[in-house]
């Protein structure tokens, strides 16, 4: 079915063998399912193996509220199709997410109970009861939930979390899969990543190409797929650019305009729900000063430092304070490394590699709406949700020890 072969095996056969090995070697298994094309193919393959073995596996759906209606319909169809072989966890809790199209609302909360009247859509019929998740903290980070759920689900047993990402989809995903050190894989399987002592992420279709995904669907017409991709094709979106994700993220915002075309009613709700959506869809494709991508220019009569201060002055107070704290950390770090005075600019190739500091780099971060200043080598801080979960685990461990004494 595909051009890539392993000892005369197609990528489909290779993936099926990986999945079978996971079932043979792990005590617990769950699938992280988004409804996207890659996730759907992987889920079909994993649940086909579950059916063959007559077992159930966990199905985790982290619902971020702002989704295409077709995606929700597809997920519900998948749940109905495989209901006898899944332990469903459709998570619709309040999660703190990035809004990369506004300085006035740089973060938003999915399923915010205080804004229930303007939710993009009501919670689905299969939404799980949040009370069963003792780790859940309202307004926790999405990234934390992924890890904490896995540890909660594992219950101390060796657990595999199936993740439907491919190495060729983006450089970030390529690094997530292939950039691993010895000891951080299960049985040295290069398509696995150790998350914690008993939890491993598994990427059974990591080596598939986009074409392989659609060849699979073409040869398996009896298996359902997300119809939103059919609409994307009719709208003229290239196959390589057809992706699903929460619409307001740093990378995802480039696909905002599609909601306007594919689902006008959903588009209207997106505009009402989160600040900056309409203007973001208009300008996010631009380069230069509008979006901070590629080459930027400072106004006549300004240095990069004065332009940076001008940009900061235009921000709402809370966002301005956030960036100032981030810039102080950036400047202090480089001063400790010998740059007593931060240069206005430096050779662009050195700036792009983050080898030197400059005020131009700080300007670019603001123009790009890079809230966590990743362009300055900084990262998003963790909330206290994971700490609370670890404390809860320790408390339960102590209670069990006392009960057995």
Interval 113-138 mean pLDDT: 95
- Which of 188, 211, 234 terminates a domain? The answer is 211
- β-pairing, 95-98 vs 107-110, is antiparallel
Give me the pLDDT at residue 325, please. Answer: 97
d(CA 93, CA 111): 6
Give me the pLDDT at residue 240, please. Answer: 78
Q: Does the residue 217 lie in any domain?
A: no
| 205 and 89 in a common domain | yes
CATH label of the domain that carries residue 178: 3.40.50
Give me the pLDDT at residue 238, please. Answer: 85
Q: Does the residue 402 lie in any domain?
A: yes
| 311 and 179 in a common domain | no
- Which of 211, 244, 263 terminates a domain? The answer is 211
| 292 and 206 in a common domain | no
d(CA 287, CA 283): 9
Interval 105-129 mean pLDDT: 95
Average pLDDT of every residue of the chain: 87
CB 202 within 8 A of CB 160: yes
Task: Give residue 106's pLDDT band: very low, low, confident or very high (50, 70, 90).
Answer: confident
Task: Give residue 182's pLDDT band: very low, low, confident or very high (50, 70, 90).
Answer: low
For residue 116, the enclosing domain spans 5-211
Interval 79-106 mean pLDDT: 92
Task: Give residue 292's pLDDT band: very low, low, confident or very high (50, 70, 90).
Answer: very low
| 205 and 303 in a common domain | no
- pLDDT at residue 388 above 90? no
d(CA 245, CA 239): 16
CB 101 within 8 A of CB 259: no
Task: Tell me the torsion sign for CA atoms 119, 124, 128, 131.
Answer: positive
Interval 186-200 mean pLDDT: 90
Domains held by the chain: number: 2
Give me the pLDDT at residue 242, please. Answer: 81
**Higher-confidence position of 391 and 65:** 65
Q: Does the residue 179 lie in any domain?
A: yes
Q: Does the residue 351 lie in any domain?
A: yes
Task: Give residue 294's pLDDT band: very low, low, confident or very high (50, 70, 90).
Answer: low
Give me the pLDDT at residue 2, please. Answer: 47
- Which of 193, 211, 229 terminates a domain? The answer is 211
**Higher-confidence position of 334 and 259:** 334
| 179 and 30 in a common domain | yes
Q: Does the residue 405 lie in any domain?
A: yes
pTM value is 0.83
């Amino acid at each position: 079915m595909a051009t890539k072969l392993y000892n005369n095996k197609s990528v489909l056969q290779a993936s099926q063998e990986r999945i079978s090995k996971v079932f043979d070697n792990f005590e617990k298994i769950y699938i992280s399912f988004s409804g996207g094309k890659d996730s759907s193919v992987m889920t079909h393959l994993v649940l086909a193996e579950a059916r063959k073995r007559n077992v159930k596996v966990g199905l985790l759906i982290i619902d971020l509220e702002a989704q295409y209606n077709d995606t929700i319909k597809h997920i519900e169809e998948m749940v109905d199709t495989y209901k006898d072989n899944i332990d469903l966890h459709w998570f619709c809790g309040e999660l703190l997410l990035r809004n990369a199209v506004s300085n006035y609302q740089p973060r938003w909360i999915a399923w915010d109970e205080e804004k229930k009247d303007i939710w993009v859509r009501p919670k689905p019929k299969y939404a799980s009861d949040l009370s069963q998740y003792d780790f859940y903290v309202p307004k926790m980070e999405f990234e934390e939930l992924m890890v904490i759920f896995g540890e909660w689900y594992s219950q101390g047993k060796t657990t595999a979390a199936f993740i439907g990402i491919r190495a060729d989809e983006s450089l970030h995903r390529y690094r997530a899969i292939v950039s691993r050190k010895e000891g951080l894989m299960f049985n040295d399987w290069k398509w696995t990543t150790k998350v914690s002592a008993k939890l491993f992420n598994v990427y059974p279709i990591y080596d598939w190409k986009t074409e392989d995904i659609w060849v699979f669907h073409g040869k398996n017409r009896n298996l359902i797929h997300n119809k939103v991709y059919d609409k994307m094709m009719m709208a003229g979106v290239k196959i390589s650019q057809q992706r699903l994700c929460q619409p307001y993220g740093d990378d995802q915002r480039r696909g905002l305009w599609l909601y306007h075309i594919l689902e006008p009613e959903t588009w209207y709700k997106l505009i009402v729900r989160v600040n900056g959506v309409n203007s973001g869809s208009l300008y996010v494709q631009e380069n230069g000063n509008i979006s901070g991508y590629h080459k930027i220019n400072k106004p006549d009569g300004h240095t990069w430092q004065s332009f940076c201060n001008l940009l900061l002055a235009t921000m709402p107070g809370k966002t301005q304070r956030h960036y100032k704290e981030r810039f102080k950390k950036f400047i202090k770090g480089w001063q400790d490394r010998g740059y007593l005075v931060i240069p206005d600019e430096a050779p662009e190739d050195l700036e792009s590699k983050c080898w030197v500091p400059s005020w131009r780099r700080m300007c670019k971060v603001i123009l790009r709406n890079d809230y966590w200043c990743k362009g300055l080598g900084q990262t998003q801080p963790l909330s206290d949700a994971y700490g609370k979960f670890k404390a809860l685990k320790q408390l339960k461990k102590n209670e069990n020890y006392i009960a057995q004494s």
